[in-house]
Amino acid sequence: MKPIARTQLDSVQIGQPRTYSQTNSHSKKIEQWTTSFNKKPIKDWVKVTAAGITGDEQFDKKNHGGIDKAVLIYSADHFDYWQNQLGVPAIAPGAFGENLTVSGMDEATVCLGDRLSIHDVLLEVSQPRQPCWKLARHWHLPELPKRVVQSGFCGWYCRVIKNGRIKPEAPIARIANPHPEWPVRRAHQVFHQSPANPAELKELLSLAVLSNAWKTSADHRGDT
């Protein structure tokens, strides 16, 4: 198993559903939308269970949260790229709606099924993150989800294998790497590539560690 060097949990974020008013860029009408995307950092110890991080609640429970998507992780290693791409002065942890902001690891080094140990919590990587329209609304950039898909800097979801507590500025250890041939970035590319590669999709969907949501989405593409 190849180690991931100097990996760290930089920040922990939680959010509650809130309703916002925003002008639709096309219709120019004011629309309301509710989301937990805007998360706030916490500095102290927080409990993590199979349901997610204590104090973090999802509004759209059909598409977010659940056992397979209990914790969303994003790499701060991408922040400089997005700062340049988006023309903003700085990007702070939580900017992509993530629960955990990490450094020293990304979609190219983290693989499906990896088990990540943080303090006494054990996480298992279940799928790449699929960016949705709420990312676009948060940043007021309709094209941003597409740009995230194209970049491959998507982030990844984890299920919780062992409950416990975590705190920012903790080291992260990869203690299992059952599918080194399936880094998150490859899974992301295989899922989104056009035309689809049926053989690679079939191999991806055969992984027991892959979330049910991604297996269902691939079926809906009609490529398998």
Report angle CA 14, 80, 12 to the nearest 5 degrees: 15
Query: Is residue 159 within 8 Å of residue 123, measured between CB atoms?
Result: yes
CA distance 139 to 39: 14
Domain range for 150 is 8-221
Query: Is residue 76 within 8 Å of residue 102, measured between CB atoms?
Result: yes
CA distance 5 to 221: 37
Tell me the pLDDT band of 140, cut-offs 50, 70 and 90: confident
143 assigned to some structural domain:
yes
174 assigned to some structural domain:
yes
131 assigned to some structural domain:
yes
87 Cβ neighbours under 8 A, 6+ residues apart: none
Number of domains in the chain: 1
At residue 223, the pLDDT reads: 43
Total residue length of the chain? 224
The pTM is what? 0.92
3 assigned to some structural domain:
no
2 assigned to some structural domain:
no
1 assigned to some structural domain:
no
Q: Which pLDDT tens digit goes with each residue over 70-122?
A: 999 999 999 999 999 998 888 999 999 999 999 999 999 999 999 999 999 99
Query: Is residue 166 within 8 Å of residue 85, measured between CB atoms?
Result: no
**Nearest to 70, CA basis, from 134, 14, 132, 148:** 14
At residue 224, the pLDDT reads: 40
CA distance 88 to 196: 35
Tell me the pLDDT band of 24, cut-offs 50, 70 and 90: low
CA distance 183 to 4: 13
141 assigned to some structural domain:
yes
At residue 63, the pLDDT reads: 66
Burial of 178 (0-12, 13-18, 19+ CB in 10 A): middle
91 assigned to some structural domain:
yes
216 Cβ neighbours under 8 A, 6+ residues apart: none
Domain at 189, CATH number: 2.40.33.20
Query: Is residue 133 within 8 Å of residue 143, measured between CB atoms?
Result: no
